[in-house]
Each structure stands twice: as C-alpha cells, then as structure tokens.
Structure 1
C-alpha cells in the first residue's frame, strides 16, 4: 500500500483542498480533530510567537510557567505540527554525540553543560507529558548507535572516551550479541548504548503541547501565515487576515526562516529526511525483539535510523536525500517519499522477517541544516525585542525543549546560562552562495553514497570520495530523528 493511498495520510485541509499529512500528525488528528481558529482582525499581545511547532510551543509554555500574567499569542501558518515537529522520526536524542563540535565552538565548560542539559531535556519532556496527561507514547528506553560494517566500527570510541574523561558519559559499549538482540537485526556488528534518550510519537506530542498551551492561556491562531513583520517601535506581525501588535516577537519558523528573511539564506541548507512505517505486526515485533522504545541508528554520515511503535510497527528513515536549491520549500517535501523503494529495501535488509509486511505510509520533510549541525539563536537585525532560533539539523525533538529555555530567557530579559550561551550569537558559519551550495551538496552527498556503498561491500572507497565526504564531517551526522 502506498502512502498516497493510505487513508490516514490523505486528508482535507480546512479550505477543502487535498493535502498530505505526515503519518504521525494524521494519527494525532484522528484522535482529536483539529479545530483551527484563524486570526481575523487586530489583536495585541505581550509576546507574539510565529510558528506553532516544538520550539514555539515550548517557548510559550515556559514563558507562561515563569510569568502566568504574560499575554502570549502564537500564529501558525498551517496546523501546529504540520512542519518538522509533526513529521520527524520521533527519536528523542541528545547532543552527547556532538561533544567535539560543542567543545570546538564553545569550550569545555559550556560543552559539558550543554551535553548534560540535552540529556536532562529528555527527562523533562517525559515528566511534562506525565504531569499534563499528554499521551505521546514517550518511552525513555535509550538510544543505540551501531556499526553495520567494518569501516563503522569504533566510530563512537573517541567521543565516549572524551565524555568519560570529563565524568559526563552516559554511554556503554555493547558486544555484538547484545546489540543484535536489542536492535532486532543481525546487520549490527557492535554498538554503544545510552539510557538518556528514547522515542515519542511527535504528532501526539506537538498537539498535546498545543492543548496545554491553550489551557495556560496562550492564544493560538492556526491557518494564519505571517505576511510581514514590521520592525518598528511598535512591533507588528501582519497576517493574511489580521494583525498582532506585540511588545516582543519570537520567530520559531525553523527551515522557513531562510525563505522569509534574506539574511539567513546562507545560514542553513534545506534538506529532506525520508521515512517509512509498516502496518502493525505486534507478534512479529515481539519475535524480532523490538518491543521497546529504543532509537537505533548506524554510524553512517547520512544515518539509517529506526524504532518501533507501541502498536507494533517499525519506522525507518534516512536523512540527506533531497537538497533544495536556494533553500526553497519544495513541493516534494509535502508528499510521499520519492525514496520509498530504497527505504523498503533497507528495512528488509535489517529485518528479513518483515519482508512481506506492507507499508502503511511514507513521507518526508524539510530539515534546517546549519553549518555546525547545531541550532543558533539571536536578535533579528539586532532589534532588542525580536528573537529567533532554528537550525536543529534533524535533531530537534529533544533540543527544541532547550530552544524554549533559550528563547523564553531572552524574552524575559534574564541573565543566565542560556542567555550567555554561545548558541545565542547568531549563525556560526555560512554556506557558499548558489549555485555553489546546491552543486557542492550534491557532489558531497553522492560521494558519501559511493563511499558507504564501498564500505558495505568491504571495499576501499576512492580517495576522491573520501575527500569529498570529509566536507560533511564538520557538522556531524545528518539525520532527522
């Protein structure tokens, strides 16, 4: 069964037009149908947040937790969760594997703090869901990074040693038998496990956060795209049918920042991650050994990642497939995955027993890939009351909680570890201008594919492919978990 034919993916928008919803969001809306309330006319707010995904919602919630009296408005161009927040793989990960990048950019003290904060965010999200009855299938069952060929072996050893030397490592090496048993696949040769991670149904999480935000008094206007931001003494967010006059503005638009504000056109590369999910087979899942919420991924540059679901499915994804010229939002980002066949072959390779299990859906989405692989935050055009944050590079489910901590601290004018962080300095590097960026991205992507195919076959990659692939290494792994 293809994604286009699946009834939970093909939906009607509020305008009556056919649209393709990602699987997770479609599941969430089937349980609690959306009742969007567009902004019509003029309103005022202490804080207007543009974007109703994880970053915008966590910012609004943390603002209300700190200052219940604040009048907070969210304007969302579609439905809350229609962007990356509702269409990722649902892997709840941390920044521990990016320690060397953090160390290089921010120094040892801040790098260690950010690793520990990213792990704490996993538990904070789980606790928040319990406290507010958000049934988002949060399972803090850890993550398993593996090697699926000889060349990948030992990839995690340097970062594990560096974390352990500083007393902040949550990782433990696992042998081949233990890895294969827990990961449910004989493809894995070795692995490293951290309990500070897990998985979540992202559509249920983002819709649950929207519900809680409304209960706290946040006004959310969906189907309300921003048409213009007026940067004046009185900030104004103009929409297609209304206007918000706000004391402060937070831009939480992720990949859409690059198309909305020209100064960010080279700050990120917009790249797809593609996913498939099977029909449920609970007995087969138990036989496979995946009756848990561990997020599993290999050690490729463009990782394969997978996890199970409580209702007996396997989700598998891979990043780094489609690069958008000029950072544009391609129509293909809102359609079933063009790489469905490749992903299904990978699924069958990992799990031969699932060969005949049909797919329930495939989908993809746009990831805001920064030069460093980390998000960045700042003030738009140095305006003292307009803040932004994006660039999660495919690892935003957990770190977006930290994004909310940063942005809410900036709005409240606090002097704390978040507002003093090196993350709050704007983009930490830029991509080349077009067409160099797009052509270079394709060259690097194709070199990585050739290199990793050779490694899978036990062959030595060409030196040119090794050299080109090295340009992707500075930012770490590319995924959309």
Structure 2
C-alpha cells in the first residue's frame, strides 16, 4: 500500500472490518463518499435526527481518498478571508472564518472525547516566504483584517521564523496560533467508528457506478443499490464526473514524501513542535514533522486531469517524488542524511476562488453536494458536514443559508482549452518561481500568464 498514513493507521489500529453493499436497501439519507466530509455529514444528521437511517457508500475504505492522503494541516479560513469577503461580504465572511477556527478546536475536542489518538497537536501554522518577492505577500490580508479589529496572525521576525521551522531558508513569515496537525487517516477512521456507533451503515468497497435522479434517487453499486429520500455527494475530486460540477473545479495533483524516523536529527535543528508550515508559492511547499520524528513534505505540482477524470495516475507512489524531494533538500540541507521512506500522490478539487461550494445537483431537490475544498479541507469539512446535513434534511438555518451555498460559481474554460491553458499557466508559474528563487525578475509576459492561475494561499488584489 502506497498510502503512508493509512498503512500507518492500519499497523497501529488493525484493518477495519469491511462490509460491502451486496443487496438493495433503503435509507432516509445516502452519502456517497466516506471521507471527512461524508462522515461529518453522517454524524451531524444522526446527532440531529437519531431515528433516521443513514447509509454511507465508499468506493474503497473510509479515509482512502483525500482524507487519508493529505498533509494533516488543521487550519482555519482566515488566510482566505479576502476571497470570502468578495464572495459574501464582511459579516458572513467573518462568521465563516470564525466558524472554521472553532472547527480546529472542535476536532481536538472530538478526538479527546472519543479516545481517538490522531496525534492532534495544536502548535499553530507558520506561513513563510522563501524568496524576496514572497516577503510581505500577506500584508494585503492582514491590513484588511486589521480594519475589522481581527488579528488571527502574529508577525514574526526572521529569527523566530527560522527557529519554528528549523531552517534559515524561510526568510520571513507570520504565525496563526489557532491551527494544528493530525495523523489524517487515524482521524478519518475515528470518524468512521464514531459514525457506526451512532448507527450509520457504512458500505465500503462499494463504488457508485450510477446515480438515478428519479424523484426518490437511487445510488447503484456493482452488487447492490440504495434508495433514499436524499443523496449527499461528498466525493471531493471524484465529484467532477458530474457534468454540472465538471467545469467548476479543476483536478490537480498534490504529491508527498515521508522520511524515515530520525527524532535526534530534528532535535539538532530545533524542529520539535508540530507546527504546520507552508510557503507562499502557487506550487506550494507544505510540510511538518510527526511525533515519531519524521518530516512529511508535500508539494502542489500542477498535474492536471483532462476533463476532470480522476484516473489511476492519482493513486500509488508519486511519479514526481524526486521533484518533491529536491524541494525538501533545499529547505533542509541539515537533514541531508534522512532517507525518504515513502511517497504518494492524490487529486485536489480546486475551485477558481479556492473556496468550496455547496448546492443541489442540477437543482434536484433530493441530491446535494459539496466540492472544491482546494486542498484545505480538514477543518472546513466540519463546517461542510453542517451545511450538507442541513441541506439534506431541508432545514432553513445559518448553514443551509451559508455564503458557501451558491449557484453562481465561476467556471473554468471548456476542454481542451482548460487543459491546454493549465499547462501554459503551470509552466509560466514554474518560470516565475524559479527566477524568483535565483533573485531574478520574471519578464512581463511570464507574470501576466502566471497571474491567470486560480486563487491560492497568497492574497492578490484580484480578491
């Protein structure tokens, strides 16, 4: 198994007992997708309405998709406040960002209360610059937040940035204390166990092969089916198979490596705390250590899927592991003798503005969806579960009327123009960031093309 986190979780906890769907059943709500979003939705529904029959249909095992492959960053939406503000205004943007920050704490409390050892470490998030042009890129955001007397970030001097991250290759940065890291697959399996204790029926190794959009929708799997009043699509990148959603997200790879466990080496450079770290590139470097003394290092490299097809090249070992390792070695030259033990890859469902969106598929009253988490879904999926539970139960409340529930979602170009354009923009970004690393200025054409990229972490005046 090439999924490092899930293999580690199975080694510690044992492989879960799996039940596949082998007959026709009925439910009140069927959830397609056994990751964070689907499981939080199932839990919210059962907490709100314990008598309802809730079924989860998962193509593999819970946590095998994005929920068990990510970097384990549990961060809020304060970094995306400008996009939120543009989308839904000052008051709603602040409410969503505050709720996402509360979700960080909620995950920690959930783990403690349910005895889930998901290695939750509330040591904050360090947002850094690794080249001169990146320094201060966060100032637009901080200035806007300051206007509203909101200050979730702390400015750090260069020495503190180097100390927290264990490397002087980070030149500057700001710090968000209210953030954490987790072992993502153990969290997913903990959600799975809790959902089952609440009475949720979970069917794994049961991929949806067809969705019948009748008045009472039916989810068809290879050996069975589920008919229910409501269907929730919580499929992340795999949701792009639906025409209604395909142009609203772009599927792009993110690739990760994990070193061998060498806690003494991390102690030597002072890289001890479980701080989540990322830089200010579009091809983001994101990394952290683990309690047993590894470095887990990821990079968004821009391998796009044509027409939103999530094929097998998003599974298994990363074909781009050497490029990820090169970035790791540049940032941590002092860890040159730490070997790479594992690599893996996975798809990200990126929206144009970097925010998820929720709604009803083709306006069908009984089929709801959430998609577009853009690689930042661990804490926001807690909110997503509240939104989808409210939509599935047809409740009118602060979540079903949330600013992230919207019809008018900006779309990417049609194929093949989207795919061809993504390659052109990707290569322009590579040139831009490569030149900036060498203290050289990119030419105006490269800058203009690079600026066509979707919104990432780095704020821009386009927000």
1:29 CA displacement: 1.6
Q: CA-to-partner distance for each residue in 1:274-324, whole Å, 9 max, x for gaps? A: 111100001111222221111011111121111000010001111133111
> Is contact 2:216-2:366 (8 Å) kept?
no
Alignment partner for residue 388 of structure 1, among 366, 369, 374? 369
> Is contact 2:138-2:458 (8 Å) kept?
no
Alignment partner for residue 316 of structure 2, among 312, 326, 335? 335
Residues 1:444 and 2:431 are matched in the alignment: no
Q: Which residue of 2 aligns with 1:459?
A: 440
1:475 CA displacement: 5.1
Q: Distance in 2 between matches of 1:352 and 1:293?
A: 20
1:473 CA displacement: 5.2
Q: Which residue of 2 aligns with 1:148?
A: 130
Q: Distance in 1 between matches of 2:442 and 2:11?
A: 47
- Secondary structure in structure 2 of the residue aligned to 1:226: coil
Residues 1:432 and 2:413 are matched in the alignment: yes
1:255 CA displacement: 0.8
> Is contact 1:101-1:475 (8 Å) kept?
no
> Is contact 1:305-1:316 (8 Å) kept?
yes
Q: Distance in 2 between matches of 1:39 and 1:473?
A: 39
- Secondary structure in structure 1 of the residue aligned to 2:394: coil
Q: Distance in 2 between matches of 1:227 and 1:150?
A: 49
Q: Distance in 1 between matches of 2:204 and 2:418?
A: 34
Structure 1 range deviating more: 158-167 or 184-193: 158-167
Q: CA-to-partner distance for each residue in 1:325-370, whole Å, 9 max, x for gaps? A: 1111132210211221121122111111211111110111000011
Gaps of 5+ in 2: none
Q: CA-to-partner distance for each residue in 1:50-90, whole Å, 9 max, x for gaps? A: 11001000000111111111111101011111111111111
Alignment partner for residue 18 of structure 2, among 18, 22, 36? 36
Q: Which residue of 1 aligns with 2:200?
A: 218
Number of equivalent positions: 458
TM-score normalised to the size of structure 2?
0.96
> Is contact 1:224-1:240 (8 Å) kept?
yes
Alignment partner for residue 298 of structure 1, among 270, 273, 279? 279
> Is contact 2:354-2:454 (8 Å) kept?
no
Q: Distance in 2 between matches of 1:435 and 1:289?
A: 48
Q: Distance in 1 between matches of 2:41 and 2:455?
A: 29
Question: Structure 2 vs 1, CA of residues 130 and 112 (structure 1 numbering), >3 Å: closer, same or farther?
Answer: same
Structure 1 range deviating more: 229-238 or 383-392: 229-238
Question: Structure 2 vs 1, CA of residues 112 and 427 (structure 1 numbering), >3 Å: closer, same or farther?
Answer: same
Q: Distance in 2 between matches of 1:418 and 1:241?
A: 35
Q: Which residue of 1 aligns with 2:250?
A: 269
Deviant stretches of 4+, over 3 Å: 473-478
Residues 1:190 and 2:187 are matched in the alignment: no
Q: Distance in 1 between matches of 2:424 and 2:408?
A: 24
Q: Distance in 2 between matches of 1:387 and 1:263?
A: 12
Q: Distance in 2 between matches of 1:151 and 1:234?
A: 54
Question: Structure 2 vs 1, CA of residues 244 and 422 (structure 1 numbering), >3 Å: closer, same or farther?
Answer: same
Alignment partner for residue 78 of structure 1, among 57, 60, 71? 60
Residues 1:119 and 2:81 are matched in the alignment: no
> Is contact 2:282-2:456 (8 Å) kept?
no
Q: Which residue of 1 aligns with 2:157?
A: 175
Q: CA-to-partner distance for each residue in 1:169-198, whole Å, 9 max, x for gaps? A: 210100000110111011011110011111
Structure 1 range deviating more: 420-429 or 345-354: 420-429
> Is contact 2:137-2:458 (8 Å) kept?
no
Q: Which residue of 2 aligns with 1:164?
A: 146
Q: CA-to-partner distance for each residue in 1:179-221, whole Å, 9 max, x for gaps? A: 1011101101111001111111111110111011111110100
- Secondary structure in structure 1 of the residue aligned to 2:359: strand
1:23 CA displacement: 0.5
Q: Distance in 2 between matches of 1:174 and 1:109?
A: 28
1:422 CA displacement: 2.4
Residues 1:249 and 2:220 are matched in the alignment: no
> How big is the alpha-carbon RMSD for the aligned residues of Structure 1 and Structure 2?
1.3
Q: Which residue of 1 aligns with 2:306?
A: 325
> Is contact 1:376-1:427 (8 Å) kept?
no
Question: Structure 2 vs 1, CA of residues 393 and 81 (structure 1 numbering), >3 Å: closer, same or farther?
Answer: same
- Secondary structure in structure 2 of the residue aligned to 1:139: coil
> Is contact 2:39-2:191 (8 Å) kept?
yes
Q: Distance in 2 between matches of 1:345 and 1:372?
A: 29
Residues 1:63 and 2:42 are matched in the alignment: no
Q: Distance in 2 between matches of 1:331 and 1:324?
A: 11
- Secondary structure in structure 2 of the residue aligned to 1:344: helix
TM-score normalised to the size of structure 1?
0.93
- Secondary structure in structure 1 of the residue aligned to 2:8: helix
